[in-house]
Amino acid sequence: MAKTPFVTVDWLKARLDAPDIVVLDASWYLPVQGRDAAADYAAGHVPGAIRFDIDAMSDENSPLPHMLPRPEVFASRMRTLGIGDGVQIVVYDGMGLFSAPRVRWMLMAFGVRDVAILEGGLTAWVAAGGPLEEGEGHPRARRHFTARLDHGVVADANDVARVLETGSAQVVDARSGPRFRGEEAEPRPGVRPGHMPGARNVHYSALQSDGRLKDPDALRAVFAQNGVDIERPVVTTCGSGVTAAIVALALETLGHPPRALYDGSWSEWGSDAARPVATGPA
């Protein structure tokens, strides 16, 4: 597997039939994007790709969206999909680079190390003449999967409050500027507008171009322009823990992986009246 977080379309084409390669369609969309991930998968996916439903693979007992499940639950669901230990996993999504980083982060948090993102996603695959397979797909036979959660890469609300108070790490919010500044209502009921006092704002879209991460110099410039020192520790956050993984991925490609990702993100912080909220620019 490549040492970068990405593999190319040509790389995957050459290895698509390899028995130790597992491809995951990690597509997930916001309601405002007006797309149905399950329908899109059935209409056409990379041949042999298994649909990885973020919501179905998350903690269904949590009132918060997309929270990591217990390790034993995640392991059981991975076994049901036929994904076992020791395979090389490639994830992609239908937007190029949106939800695939979250799935890669989830897998790595549970101990998977051989996992990469298809550069450019399904769009790049189709543009390069890659074949598509229709239908619901068929998971492989059950295989043993071991899940060991690395608690160090997962931040909770108390962790975020602590780093904001002590300045031991920077908190970088991937939401849009209007949401960060509190100029737009939050899409989830009961969640206050605004941001964590002291957080910095780097909208995930500013890190991308045509469904791919920008080049390293451009990424450095975006972080610097938004007051983020990539040499210092970072905790990433967003609305519900999905696009925070895009910021984390950008930092990783620059050789400065973040300290942690705040899993509850603004869905948790903004709905807790005991947590302080700021509005306006950082």
pLDDT in tens, 210-222: 999 999 999 999 9
195 and 125 in a single domain? The answer is: no
In a domain, 275, yes or no: no
The phi, psi pair for 254, rounded to 5°, reads -90, 5
- DSSP SS3 for 21: strand
Cα separation, 34 vs 134, whole angstroms = 21
In a domain, 281, yes or no: no
Of 118, 149, 180, the residue at which a domain comes to its end is: 149
pLDDT in tens, 251-275: 999 999 999 999 999 999 999 999 9
pLDDT at 2 over 60: no
Q: What is the DSSP string of 161-189?
A: HHHHHH-SSEEEE-S-HHHHHT-S--SST
Question: Rounded to the nearest 5 degrees, what angle is found at the Cα of 80, between the Cα atoms of 63 and 268?
Answer: 15
Q: What is the DSSP string of 252-274?
A: HHTT---SEEESSHHHHHTT-TT
Of 93, 115, 149, the residue at which a domain comes to its end is: 149
Cα separation, 78 vs 68, whole angstroms = 13
Q: How many structural domains compose the chain? A: 2
76 and 145 in a single domain? The answer is: yes
Alpha-carbon distances, residue 16 vs 19, 90, 190 (angstroms): 9, 10, 45
Catalytic residues: 238
The phi, psi pair for 235, rounded to 5°, reads -115, 125
Give the model's pLDDT for residue 256. 97
